[in-house]
């Protein structure tokens, strides 16, 4: 068969029809027969991160996490504060004195009221203020002053004549109590905080307990026995040793409710008020501390359920910083007082001129002085730091 040029070219994979393609010069390619190994690719070595770069990125991640955590905690805490603000009676803000500037740099005076509806004392069951205390801050001097007011102190109550100061609350709520105290002391009250002892137990447990300095050993009477009736008959009562003790919510609530110390017959209702105020101070310090801040995203909304106040979340934050910087070591603890007597069958404390001197000590216009010798267990005066009233 004759050989001749065919109008197509045969390739290994088949053929293509059409005109015979023109010869094209082949590109220069490496000499490879398809079976030899490819030339290895040369990769640039990766630079390993140095410790400075790792540290910087780690710090940046921590900063972002801390910021997110702080914002979440603050929003949760702010919501709890807003609910505490909503519980405050509308008649209270008009009687409060305006706060001058920030709490961080300006003095402020706050009224702390404690109520305990579950207490066996019937007067407290009538919604009386069970504990009355004024907290005065002076950030420029890093100074804290606590002024205790006995609930049985007989004072003029605006529009109601003279009576025990704790009756102002059931007569006109916190607003009347504030007006009564302002007239009595001459101090302008900038803020108010009302503590409900019924819910105090859960608050203390949520912040991990509190540390309270017990000034003397205590053996209470047999109130609120935690055991069965057969065992309660021989149960001596609650015991508290002298010194600083860590208390959970139940223990702190019992401590604040003790009305009778079988180890010291001189203990009175005023010493019980001092115990309550020690618990409130410890809670305030712990509540506004750094450890509680870390838990705010989880419990900030419910943490303030026992509180009613006009303070905003930002003012709470400022107050926490002021309390932290001032500390409790050199805090001034003062109390009003007088002479115990009976009027109309009711036990009351009649004040004297020493109360005016105590107010001067609170404002810093007079040097702190303890109660006068012989003034008794209700003597007015001031002590510094951990010293106790005699």
User: Could you give the 3-state DSSP secondary structure of residue 336?
Assistant: coil
pLDDT of the residue at 378: 86
pLDDT at 258 over 50: yes
pLDDT at 98 over 90: yes
pLDDT at 124 over 50: no
Mean pLDDT of the chain: 82
pLDDT at 100 over 90: no
Banded model confidence at residue 19, pLDDT cuts 50, 70, 90: low
Closest to 388 measured CA to CA, from 288, 292, 298, 266: 266
Q: What is the DSSP string of 259-287?
A: --BTT-TT--HHHHHHHHHHHHHHHHHHH
Answer yes or no: pTM beyond 0.85.
no
CA-CA-CA-CA torsion for 185, 186, 189, 193, nearest 10 degrees?
10
CA-CA-CA-CA torsion for 252, 256, 259, 263, nearest 10 degrees?
50
Contact (CB, 8 A) for 133 and 274: no
Region 260-268: mean pLDDT is 83
pLDDT at 61 over 80: yes
Higher pLDDT, 352 or 285: 352
pLDDT of the residue at 90: 94
Higher pLDDT, 49 or 238: 238
Q: How far apart are CA 341 and CA 236, in angstroms?
A: 31
Highest mean pLDDT out of 54-58, 73-77, 287-291: 54-58
Banded model confidence at residue 122, pLDDT cuts 50, 70, 90: very low
Q: How far apart are CA 171 and CA 211, in angstroms?
A: 35
DSSP 82: H
pLDDT of the residue at 123: 41
């Amino acid at each position: 068969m004759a050989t001749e040029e065919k109008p197509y070219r045969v390739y290994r994979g088949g053929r293509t029809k059409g005109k015979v393609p023109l010869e094209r010069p082949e590109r220069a390619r490496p000499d490879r027969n398809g079976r030899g190994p490819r030339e290895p690719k040369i990769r640039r070595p990766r630079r390993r991160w140095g410790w400075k770069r790792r540290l910087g990125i780690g710090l940046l991640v921590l900063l972002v996490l801390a910021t997110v955590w702080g914002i979440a905690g603050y929003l949760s805490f702010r919501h709890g504060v807003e609910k505490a603000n909503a519980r405050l009676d509308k008649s209270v803000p008009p009687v409060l004195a305006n706060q001058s500037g920030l709490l961080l740099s300006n003095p402020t005076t706050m009224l702390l009221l404690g109520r305990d509806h579950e207490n066996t004392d019937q007067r407290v069951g009538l919604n009386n203020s069970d504990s009355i205390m004024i907290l005065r801050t002076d950030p420029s001097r890093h100074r804290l002053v606590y002024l205790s007011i006995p609930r049985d102190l007989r004072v003029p109550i605006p529009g109601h004549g003279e009576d025990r100061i704790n009756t102002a609350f059931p007569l006109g709520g916190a607003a009347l109590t504030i007006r009564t105290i302002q007239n009595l002391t001459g101090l302008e009250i900038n803020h108010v905080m009302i503590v409900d002892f019924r819910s105090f137990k859960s608050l203390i447990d949520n912040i991990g307990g509190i540390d309270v300095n017990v000034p003397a050993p205590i053996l209470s009477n047999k109130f609120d026995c935690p055991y069965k009736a057969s065992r309660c008959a021989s149960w001596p009562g609650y015991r508290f040793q002298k010194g600083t003790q860590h208390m959970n919510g139940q223990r702190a609530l019992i401590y604040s409710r003790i009305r009778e110390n079988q180890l010291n017959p001189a203990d009175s209702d005023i010493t019980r008020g001092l115990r309550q105020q020690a618990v409130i101070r410890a809670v305030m310090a712990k509540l506004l501390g750094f450890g509680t801040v870390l838990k705010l995203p989880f419990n900030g909304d419910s943490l303030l359920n026992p509180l009613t106040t006009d303070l905003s979340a930002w003012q709470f934050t400022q107050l926490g910083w002021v309390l932290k910087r001032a500390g409790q070591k050199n805090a001034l603890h003062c109390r009003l007082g007088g002479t115990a007597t009976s009027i109309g069958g009711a036990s009351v404390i009649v004040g004297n001129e020493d109360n005016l001197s105590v107010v001067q000590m609170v404002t810093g216009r007079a040097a702190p002085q303890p109660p006068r010798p012989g003034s008794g267990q209700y003597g007015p005066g001031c002590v510094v730091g951990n010293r106790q009233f005699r």
